[in-house]
Amino acid sequence: MSGTAGRGTALVLGGGGLVGIGWEAGMLYGLARAGADLTGADLVVGTSAGSVVGAQLTSGLLSPRELYERQLADPAGEIAAKLGAGLVARYALAMLRSRDAAEYGRRAGALALAADTPTEAERRAVLAARLVSHEWPERRLVVTAVDALTGEGAAFDREDGAGLVDAVAASCAVPGVWPPVTIGGRRYVDGGFRSAVNADLASGYRRVVILAPLPVGVGRLPSPVRQAERLRAEGARVLLITSSPEARKAFGRNLLDPARRAPAARAGLAQAAAHAAEAAAVWSGA
């Protein structure tokens, strides 16, 4: 698309494991508390961690403060996991061997399909408990994933026939850690294996705020900065907020550690004040 973006507001929530969920929740509460409430976005795009936050935010059942406070609770029911050095090395090798994002998605999908993980049912139960509503919201929520066989990106919404819990489980299905999720007879893995934020899905919106716990792109995958620049080139007013050095320290070394979710949430809350004025200006069009 070229020219001036024509629709309203879009909130893009990127991936980042359990710490990403915490940081985004803290950031959204901190922004709202400082006068930049983004919860009324016309479009919410959620990738991996962002799909969880997006589903909670658009449910209408939680205020930003309640969403934040949920991150401070005891993470009972979460299954502990770790992105080990060996798995990260396999990701890196798959990236080096891939000519484009789709080929990388296929390689990551093959890794996921061959891995020994908890069952789909076990993992689905965790995601079902994490969400306060299992129904798609009235406002437009788009949840991203990657087809494990083709490597192509998928964008689920209430019109696709996929259940919300299944869509979120697919978006959070880290290859080699969690099982691919079956939707419509196909298997899907983490949407972050197309892009950390998938901000291109906000194309056509006039005002866009992107929250990116993971600020960099990897290999063939476009960085949040690059995707934000493309939206600006279309005529959108865009604010990209990435995790601060202090927040990344709070994340620790394991993005999937349930014990790091609360420190990440507090770090997001603390960081929000630095971005509130600009976020409010972008959101209002001032």
DSSP 218-231: -TTSPPHHHHHHHH
CA distances from 187 to 151, 180, 194, 232 (A): 10, 6, 15, 34
- 8 A C-beta contact, residue 111 and residue 235: no
Q: Is 250 left (phi over 0), alpha (psi -120 to 50) or beta?
A: alpha
Q: Do 49 and 13 touch, CB atoms closer than 8 A? A: yes
| Nearest Cα residue to 208 out of 240, 180, 185, 176 | 240
Separation CA 270–CA 14 (nearest Å): 19
Q: How far apart are CA 188 and CA 194, in angstroms?
A: 12
Give 244: exposed, middle or buried? Use CB within 10 Å, 0-12, 13-18, 19+.
Answer: middle
Q: Which of 130, 162, 128 is nearest to 147 (CA)?
A: 162
Residue 195 DSSP SS3? coil
Q: What is the pLDDT of residue 79?
A: 75
In angstroms, the CA 165 to CA 172 distance is 11
Q: What is the dihedral of CA 11, 17, 18, 24, to 10 degrees?
A: -20
Structure tokens at 229: 């620049």
Give residue 4's pLDDT: 41
Per-residue pLDDT of the chain (286 residues; tens, 9 = 90+): 333 445 899 999 999 999 999 999 999 999 999 999 999 999 999 999 999 999 999 999 999 999 999 999 988 777 778 888 899 899 999 999 999 999 999 999 999 999 999 999 999 999 999 999 999 999 999 999 999 999 999 999 999 889 999 999 999 999 999 999 999 999 999 999 999 999 999 999 999 999 999 987 677 788 999 999 999 999 999 999 999 999 999 999 999 999 999 999 999 999 999 999 999 999 998 7
pLDDT for 165: 98
Q: Model-level pTM?
A: 0.95
Helix and strand totals (H; E) in the chain: 11, 8
**Where in the sequence numbering do the catalytic residues fall?**
48, 190
* Residue matched to tokens 């716990």: 213
250: which residues sit within 8 A by CB, 6+ positions away? 19, 260, 263, 264, 266, 267
pLDDT at 76: 75
CB atoms within 10 A of CB 269: 22
The reported pLDDT for the residue numbered 6 is: 54
All domains of the chain in start order, with CATH: 9-79+116-284 (3.40.1090.10)
pLDDT tens for residues 44-82?
999 999 999 999 999 999 999 999 999 999 887 777 788
